[in-house]
């Protein structure tokens, strides 16, 4: 198992199928919070397992953050790249999602995850990573700003969540070493 980084009281390592349950639980907290995603369908550990088994999983970094719990280390966050578009010309662009468990937010777990994730994307050959963020999600916007993302602009009324049309901010970060 590759440990990418030890920082801010947590260890960042490659995620693995055995992490599927806490990954799903953390994602579901984010879904319920209604500030992170248009998704409203909660995921099971089996759903997460299928992410690891996807044909393109090997080329998309998927990292977890662990911290010491009462008895053992616990997964408290994750970050995952996924394909941007199927066209071959976009093969080096990845979308990403980052989620920290509610009880661990604001303790720089997200910061540690992104610190390890960007070099992992570079090693995987990505030249750009991007995401879309609800404008109200100040923690996510601050995290991306801290890690060199540019806010490209807004998609207006991108989709409806609980009957309300929501804008999103597009963020992108070039990985310049892969552009030379
Ligand atoms: C967004 C998220 C991943 C950030 O991770 P985190 O561990 O809580 O954030 P960190 O403690 O590393 O802080 C990162 C930055 O956000 C800022 N921040 C943290 N919580 C904040 C809050 N509630 N409001 C405003 N800024 C906040 C920090 O000050 C820090 O900024 P800085 O580097 O300029 O000092 C986490 O809050 C989360 O999982 N939220 C719910 C899911 C989500 O929104 N995911 C992103 C989907 S696009």
Q: Which two tokens stand for residue 9?
A: 């009281």
CA of 107 to the centre of ligand 1 (A): 8
Q: Give the CATH number of the domain where residue 43 resides.
A: 3.40.630.30
Supply the pLDDT for residue 120. 97
- Cβ distance 66 to 14 under 8 Å? no
* 147, β-bridge pairs: none
Instruction: Give distance in angstroms: CA of 132 to centre of ligand 1.
Output: 15
Note down pLDDT in tens along the chain; length 180 residues: 788 899 999 999 999 999 999 999 999 999 999 999 999 999 999 999 999 999 889 999 999 999 988 888 999 999 999 999 999 999 999 999 999 999 999 999 999 999 999 999 999 999 999 999 999 999 999 999 999 999 999 999 999 999 999 999 999 999 989 998
| pLDDT in the model for residue 3 | 85
H/E segment holding residue 172? strand 164-174
Q: How many domains does the chain have?
A: 1
Residue nearest to atom 17 of ligand 1 (CA): 139
The span from the CA of 27 to the CA of 104, in Å, is 13
pLDDT of residue 139: 98
**Ligand 1 atom 1 nearest Cα:** 140
pLDDT of 128: 98
Q: Which residues line ligand 1 (CB under 6 A)?
A: 30, 33, 35-36, 98-100, 105-111, 131, 133, 137-140, 142-143, 146
Please say whether the beta carbons of 97 and 73 come within 8 A.
Answer: no
Q: Give the domain extent around 28.
A: 3-178
Q: Which of 106, 131, 171 to mutate to test ligand 1, by most ligand atoms within 8 A of the CB atom?
A: 106
């Amino acid at each position: 198992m590759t440990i990418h980084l030890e920082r801010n009281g947590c260890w960042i390592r490659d995620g693995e199928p055995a992490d599927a349950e806490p990954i799903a639980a953390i994602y579901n907290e984010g879904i319920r919070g209604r500030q992170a995603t248009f998704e409203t369908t909660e995921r099971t550990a089996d759903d997460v397992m299928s992410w690891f088994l996807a044909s393109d999983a090997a080329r998309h970094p998927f990292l977890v953050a662990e911290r010491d719990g009462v008895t053992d280390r616990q997964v408290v966050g994750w970050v995952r790249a996924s394909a941007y578009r199927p066209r071959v010309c976009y093969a080096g662009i990845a979308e990403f999602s980052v989620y920290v468990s509610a009880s661990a937010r604001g303790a720089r777990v997200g910061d540690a995850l992104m610190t390890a994730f960007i070099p992992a994307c570079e090693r995987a050959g990505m030249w750009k990573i991007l995401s879309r963020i609800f404008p109200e999600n100040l923690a996510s916007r601050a995290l991306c700003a801290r890690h060199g993302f540019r806010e490209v602009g807004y998609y207006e009324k991108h989709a409806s969540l609980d009957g309300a049309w929501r804008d999103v901010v597009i963020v992108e970060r070039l990985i310049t070493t892969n552009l030379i």
